[in-house]
Amino acid sequence: MDDTAKLHFKLVVECPNEQSPSDVTRGHVSVDGKKIQDIELIGKTEAHEVEFELGIDDGDHTLTVEHTYSESPQSALVISKIEIDEIDLGVLTYQGVYTPTYPEPWYSDEVTAGRPPKEIIGEGKDGSACLFMGWEGRYDLKFSTPLYEWLLENI
């Protein structure tokens, strides 16, 4: 019996804020640490689809969207939708974790002032906030295959 599934991934990302139409926001998508596709958004964007197919063994996996660069502090990389095999994960995406990379000296100043920013956002505790990557950082969604078993366990 073959324990490898071919999954079709579709992510919709956007950059809702900008200071100028030429502002660049970059990132990439990976699965289990393997970089799959780069993301580059210029200016305020509607929706940009990232699609790929991947052969994946049964077991635990991590889908990662990394926000690596924003030209403007007003920019954000926002995940609007994640589909696997044409199934919109919807609120299951809120189970993901966004780990921001806060800039210095801002981070140290906030900690010193007694307002430490959250180290992680998500795990089902912050609603859709984990999908809005205002700071550079990474969003990780753990899932497992067979996919339908994971969906049934988590719905």
What integer is the mean pLDDT of 138-148?
97
Q: Which residue has tokens 């799959």?
A: 36
Model pLDDT for residues 70-107, shown as the tens digit of each residue? 888 888 899 999 999 999 999 999 999 999 999 999 99
Would you kindly state where each structural domain of the chain is located, as residue ranges? Answer: 4-154
Residue-level pLDDT at 71: 84
Whose CA is closest to 89, among 151, 133, 30? Answer: 151
Q: DSSP character for 105?
A: T
State whether the Cα torsion 72-82-150-2 is positive or negative. Answer: negative
When computed from its CA atoms, the radius of gyration of the chain, rounded to whole angstroms, is 16
Q: Is residue 59 within 8 Å of 147, Cβ to Cβ?
A: no
pLDDT in tens, 20-47: 778 889 999 999 999 999 999 988 777 8
Gap between the Cα atoms of 112 and 56, Å rounded: 45
| Fold held by 4-154 | Lipoxygenase-1 (2.60.60)
**pTM reported for the whole predicted model:** 0.93
